[in-house]
Chains A and B, each alone.
Chain A
Amino acid sequence: AQTVTQSQPEMSVQEAETVTLSCTYDTSESDYYLFWYKQPPSRQMILVIRQEAYKQQNATENRFSVNFQKAAKSFSLKISDSQLGDAAMYFCAYGDYGGSQGNLIFGKGTKLSVKP
């Protein structure tokens, strides 16, 4: 069974600085998706960034980028120029490419605080 591990329960960053959130996963599949979701205090889950396993190039969305290491099964999220609005729970998620594609497997989350 696939698993997702986020080893940092909480992290803190100074406004305008850069922070990296870690995620490792385990799967025997070769094709899959990885995601980072953000859940602010409002509880609305927001898709931050997505990566397809077959793509070697790391995904980037504005201030958010990932470091995808397929062999190491590692998928970290880098947030540059951190803003107060980035404070939230961040979840790493794995999605199968095949039959179980409707089932995302989530890590336990990392709570990010941003200090002014």
Chain B
Amino acid sequence: KAGVTQTPRYLIKTRGQQVTLSCSPISGHRSVSWYQQTPGQGLQFLFEYFSETQRNKGNFPGRFSGRQFSNSRSEMNVSTLELGDSALYLCASSAHRGEQYFGPGTRLTVT
């Protein structure tokens, strides 16, 4: 089976812009979770989608949003980008409880 894919892999944006990241889960996986990884804060949970519904949400401002489509593909959007949003954004998919498989990540740089 193909693994989790994320596009784009690298992105450079300017403060105030918005960005959309995409994640395609492993075939058959219905749960998609998003994480932000920074050197200072480590890995932090953003949100999880299951069957097109947001099932869990982390402690991030409303500028961070996401959605999931009927084919389980997911997107996350960050509006009004800030310098502190520079990070590696990881997507993970899961078929059942607990075990998550990660994509290669999208490296976002905000200038």
User: Which A residues fall within an 8 A CB radius of B?
Assistant: 33, 35, 37, 42-47, 50, 52, 91, 95, 97, 99-109
Contacts and interface: CB of A to CB of B under 8 A. Distances in A.
Interface string B71-104: 0000000000000000010101010011111111
Interface residues of B, number: 25
A102 B105 contact: no
B98 A95 contact: yes
Contacts of A43: 88, 104-105, 107
Contact of A102 (B33, B43, B90, B101): B33
A45 B97 contact: no
Contacts of A50: 98-99
Given A43-B88, A104-B35, 15 more contacts: A33-B99, A44-B105, A45-B102, A47-B99, A47-B101, A50-B99, A101-B98, A102-B33, A102-B50, A102-B56, A103-B33, A103-B48, A103-B56, A103-B58, A108-B42
A30 B20 CA distance: 38
Nearest to B102: A45
Contact of A109 (B35, B42, B98, B102): B42
A61 B33 CA distance: 25
